[in-house]
Amino acid sequence: MDLSPEQQDLPGQRGPHHHEMRERIVRAAEARFRHFGYGKTTVSEIAADLGVSSAYIYKFFGSKIAICEAVCASLLGRIDEALWAEARSPRTAAERLRRTYRLLLEHSLAMFFNDRRLHDMVITGLDQRWASISRHVEVMEEVARFLVQEGRASGEFERKSPLDEVAKAVASTFSPFCHPVLLEHGIDDDPGAKAEAVATIVLRGLSA
């Protein structure tokens, strides 16, 4: 599988973008991160799992952090794909937006809390401002903008407020349901009910 354009633009990427070994490295690294944690995983161990030398790994990634970013981009890219699939579904814009909150919550809980070691890696990425995480935030804003435009075109949402302001405001309400730190603090307070309540309030504000 080839890396997406977002993954290709990550810092520390080397060599040809379209190469089977690059994807194999990402998969092997993810497997190790899930089992041992990214902090306890070395490049030499990833290389050993693949039956290659560390030097060969460095033909594709400039550092272990570059590999971590690629793994993070792959993980978050799966959420992005689910968001766009829902955003482009045949449901009404209001239904799609409501389901977006649920999707973000379900995928984020599964990714960050079913496997604590991945949660810790993403927290590090947030602290270090990894490009993979910044791109994920951009995708959520793009999805919000797309859904607001769809709702305006169908007559479901009001059209008087500036589109950019509305899209950014809607995207900001996604954070409690996808940010690993915010999720962690609210995980015992029925986040599903909160996501439903926030979606209802947002949709009420968007209504034409």
Which of 49, 64, 79 is where one domain is finished? 64
Are 86 and 180 contained in the same domain?
A: yes
Residues 91 and 49 in one domain: no
Q: Number of helices (H) and strands (E), helices first, in the chain?
A: 11, 0
Residue 1: the pLDDT is 38
Q: Provide the pLDDT for residue 190.
A: 85
Q: Are residues 74 and 116 in the same domain?
A: yes
Number of domains, the chain: 2
The long-range contacts involving 84-91, CB below 8 angstroms and separated by at least 24 positions, are: 84/139, 84/143, 87/143, 87/146, 87/147, 87/150
- Same domain for 23 and 80? no
Q: Look at residues 34, 49, 64 and tell me which one is the last residue of a structural domain.
A: 64
Does 77 share its domain with 48? no
All residues at 6 or more sequence positions from 14 whose CB lies less than 8 Å from its CB, including other chains: 58, 59, 60, 61, 62
CA distance 176 to 11: 28
Last residue of a domain, one of 64, 79, 114: 64
Same domain, 117 and 60: no
Range of the domain at 30: 5-64
Local mean pLDDT, 10-residue blocks, the chain (208 residues): 50 74 94 88 96 95 92 91 96 98 91 75 84 91 97 96 96 91 75 94 92
| The model's pTM | 0.85
Asked whether residue 57 falls in the same domain as residue 84, the answer is no
Task: Say how many residues make up the chain.
Answer: 208
138 and 194 share a domain?
yes
